[in-house]
Amino acid sequence: MTKTAVVALGGNALTRLGQSGTAEEMADNAATMAACVNDVIEAGWRVVVVHGNGPQVGNLALQQEATTAVPPQPLALLNAMTQGELGSLIASAVNALRGPGAAAALVTHVTVGQADPAFAAPSKPIGPFFTADEAEHLAGTRGWIMHPDSGRGYRRVVPSPEPTGIVEIGAIRALVDAGCLVIACGGGGIPVDASGGHAAGIDAVIDKDRAASLMARLLGAQALVLVTAVDHVMINYGTPRQAALRSITTDEAESHLRAGQFPPGSMGPKIEAALSFLAGGGEWAAITSPGLVAATLSGEEWAGTRIERSPSQVVQGR
């Protein structure tokens, strides 16, 4: 029986810190990602890739606002555009290693609840930085919520609601069964309301690790791999007792999380995504850097952080 792994890659893996986001840079980075994914396939896994899109949607948002000659598109459609753009780049990079047609990128919509509390407290910054005057103007004309960010100016913030369903889950399953490496839920998915109809009014960003966790649960995947910039999850970070976590149980992860070991903006959501996958029946989750993904999946001791379900844990229906 072939096992399935959902692998989530950051948008920074495609446009790295300090890069401007040219097609050449993104194609080079996609080739590096494809090599990492290829190692996983070679180890016998079926793979579904979820990718971020932060830098790319930021560039698009900036270009959309640079002219009034044509109408700017809402965030949901910018997200859809990056699914096409990055899906094409990643699929082509995988195809270059595994042959034409090995990969398939699917435009993916993810449902969110209209009563999600995130809608009352937008917190996810997107797009370019603006001056205070520009921010005030945009708040007035476009209804955007603008927050000061990193002392570099103002940015638009949008809600980041919990994903409740994946509209194309049947199509994703059909493609996985057909042997495709599937690229889906890019940028966390295009948010739609519960009916699945397009909701151009939903200006929100779904966390891609949460979307990957939900997809892994819905597919009945064995493993969820959250790829990030660091090799391991650390505890007591920056103190003399700092330590890398190699293999931990869900009980241990939950206890570290409650103890405030993982910052809310970075490692916290990844741990939560891993825990929710394991609570839903997943076998194990991994958090590691691109170079250690294959070794972590093979269970190498020296590789990244693996989280396994505690023997006591009750599995929720899948």
Query: Which part of the chain contacts a second copy (CB under 8 A), choosing from 38-46, 91-99, 144-152, 250-258?
Result: 91-99
Task: Name the segment binding a second copy (CB under 8 A); options: 103-111, 133-141, 252-260, 297-305.
Answer: 103-111
CA 51, chain centre distance (Å): 5
Contacts of 113 (CB under 8 A, 6+ apart): 161, 162, 164, 194
For the question of residue 270 being annotated catalytic, the response is yes
Give the number of other CB atoms < 10 A from CB of residue 211: 26
| Per annotation, catalytic residue among 29, 52, 208, 304 | 208
Closer CB to a second copy, 20 or 312, in the complex: 20
Known catalytic residue at 79: no
**CA–CA distances in Å: residue 165 to residues 51, 108, 250, 283:** 17, 11, 24, 21
Q: Does 87 bind a second copy (CB under 8 A)?
A: yes
User: Quick one: tokens of 121?
Assistant: 């407290």
Q: Write the CA distances from 197 to 98, 111, 112, 201, 202, integer angstroms.
A: 35, 9, 12, 11, 11
Residue 37 in contact with a second copy, rule: CB under 8 A: no
Catalytic residue among 53, 54, 58, 124: 124
Task: Assess 164 for contact with a second copy (CB under 8 A).
Answer: no
Q: Please list the residues that pair with 48 across neighbouring strands.
A: 6, 182
Minimal distance, residue 166 CB to a second copy, in Å:
9
| Given 270, 280, 282, 304, the catalytic residue | 270
Compute CA distances 30 → 48, 56, 60, 68, 235, whole Å. Answer: 15, 13, 19, 33, 31
Q: Is 27 in the site for a second copy (CB under 8 A)?
A: yes
Q: Which residue from 12, 32, 88, 289 is in contact with a second copy, where contact means CB under 8 A?
A: 88
- CA distance linking residue 4 with residue 46, whole number of Å: 5
Q: Which residue lies nearer to a second copy by CB, 44 or 101?
A: 101
* Closest CB to a second copy among residues 193, 252: 193
Residues recognised as catalytic: 11-12, 124, 208, 270
